[in-house]
Structure 1
Amino acid sequence: MAGKKERDRRRARERYERRRQQHLQRRNKVRQWTGIGLAVALVLGLAIGLSVAFVGGGSPKASASAKATGSKSASPSATPTASTIAEPAHHCTYTKAGTAAKKVSLPPATPDYTASYTATINTNRGKIDIDLLNSKATCTVNSFVHLAEAGFWNDSQCHRVSDSDEIYMLQCGDPLAKATTKLTCSEAANAPGSGTPGYEFASENLTGATYKAGTVAMANTGAADSNGSQFFLVFKASDLEPDYTPFGTITSGLDILQKVAAAGTTCTYADVGGGAPKEKVIIESVTIKKKT
């Protein structure tokens, strides 16, 4: 009897041990798959975040307090940021990026930081005169002067105007929007509004930046330091986050922008808002005057 009882106890212990091992294996598998699920979720979240960060090009968005049409997340950049640039800058870094909408060289790395510049945008609707803020956004002004003197914007049109959602501006600076092009508000790759000069550079003058009427500022992709050739002209105080480098002040021609905005649009940009101006604005040339 003693031998049989001992065998029964041994078998019971073996059954218990097998059940315990099976339970542990099942628990470990659950933990493993939970970990994998979390990792996949994190990767998908990162991928979605990056896709949001880089969708579209050069489109100012309203601040969170206004009627935003969606916000593009900023992403880190190897280029110096506004907080690390001492103004006026004595050296500028321009990094090749993408394909230029029109062939142009990189701006000089050494700007004339002591100079004073004015610009005149000669359009089919009249002249827009601008004081350039060289002492506050030296590398931006350096790029603007370079592109103007290279004729980069000649015979292009301003592709977007916004007169609502707390954004009141005319956006220009893309040679893909040729003077003869009929704008359709397409946001596809290589459509007017997506063009660049083939380089990028750091943002400047963002601390406390506001966008009152007469402000001229750089458009960007939504990613940090993604400035290129596109800029916008503010005709009424706009509620924008301080993400767009202010580099000039309009001294005459503000009425041109206001009339163009009042005329309305021919189509609407679905993602970024605003639309193609009904009254076409063609940039015939941009002239620069320099005082040292």
Structure 2
Amino acid sequence: MSAPPAVRPAAAPLTGWPDLETLQQAVLAGAFGLDPRSVRISTAFATSQAVRHDGRSGGYRNEVLSLRLGAAVGSCAAEPGALPPEAVTDAVGADVASLLAHPLPVVRTAALDAYLMHRLPHTPAHGARPLPLAAGTSLEKSRARARAVVELLAPRVPAGGRVLVVGVVNSLLEALRSSGLTYVPCDLKGGMTEWGEAVVRDAAGAVEGCDAVLASGMTLGNGTFGPLRALAAARGLPLVLFAQTGSAVLPRFLGAGVHAVCAEPYPFFWLDGGPGTLYRYGGAPGVGRHDGSGR
């Protein structure tokens, strides 16, 4: 039996993509060395989860669509109750190119993430710096991830600076407090933080006076990533992302308005008490720092 043909290495730039649409068109054109029409999703699944950490007064819910392409899993979160059953059934056996044209943004995002995870896994060759995440309780792992994210952000913010946090995670707010930073919590759902602080809904209205923006990968799936990146760039603010949704997609925007990414592919810390790995992208300020000009 003859050996399978070698896969051409990715020729497209790793980073600096100007927008999601351009990146997606490059994927469709085969710029990453594999025609998305030639590969199919073998497995699709939805994860519905509820969390209330010990010692916390409230909890939260997650729903995530995950698609498997070869050894890679791409994921996109959705608001609880917003993920229809056909999001899973439509994806099974479908080629990636057709899913990139799916009417549901959550499917398009998960498909793009699966494809890029397949072509550009989280390795040092693709810009990733692995960071072990120790085994522990859900709260211990949540706090460890939060520290890893804030370590990317803190050097980019002046002492005592103010951070617009888009996509409220209480452990992240706690880690910002521990680093001596203040914050404005922002989330489309509104509500209150663990400490009784009102959560604003409008990022554009809340960015005044902030020194940086810290945002969830969910902004990619709900369509707010582009406007948020433009908002941060217009004000000259560093933008740091923590990404379960689109963990392989968002690092591609480094150097084009994104300064650092903490990527966490499936399985996420809240699914398993064992050890895991986070992947951080983006050099320290002043060391190979991106200027936002893109390519």
TM-score normalized by the length of structure 1:
0.23
Q: From the CA coordinates, give the structure whose radius of gyration is larger.
A: 1
The higher relative CO (CA closer than 8 Å, separation ≥ 6) is in: 1
Structure with a larger share of its residues in helix: 2
